[in-house]
Homo-oligomer: A and B are copies of this chain.
């Protein structure tokens, strides 16, 4: 697949983007906000325990639990249980998760770099709307 834009390429609008549905499928699994943030956090700080992630991300216990389970099921993170008292569970990126780091951190960087630009664009847009209303 070539995601890059080619000047001469015209969309055959009789057909639908064959890859979009597949990309959609994957994104619907590991592309949600919490999954992305968990991976970013594990990328940044390495192995982390349940409550560390929880505090770190400001995520509810319920959502973290669900997100971690899905990520483990999808093979992106590993869960290591230490049967001590009190118990200790550590989460880390698997090799597949490590591969996910590059695109996900790229996304994170872009988000941080362009937060202001987006806010500015919003202000302009909203102001123009306000203008038109009168």
Contact = CB atoms under 8 A, between A and B. Distances in A.
Interface of A: 1-5, 7, 9-11, 13, 16-17, 19-31, 33, 36-37, 40-46, 48, 51-52, 55-58, 72-76, 96, 99-112, 114-115, 117-118, 120-122, 124-126
Interface SS, A side: helix
A20 B105 contact: no
23 contacts: A3-B44, A11-B45, A17-B44, A17-B56, A17-B57, A20-B40, A20-B57, A22-B112, A23-B108, A24-B33, A24-B57, A31-B33, A31-B36, A72-B125, A73-B125, A73-B126, A75-B121, A96-B117, A99-B110, A99-B114, A102-B106, A103-B110, A106-B107
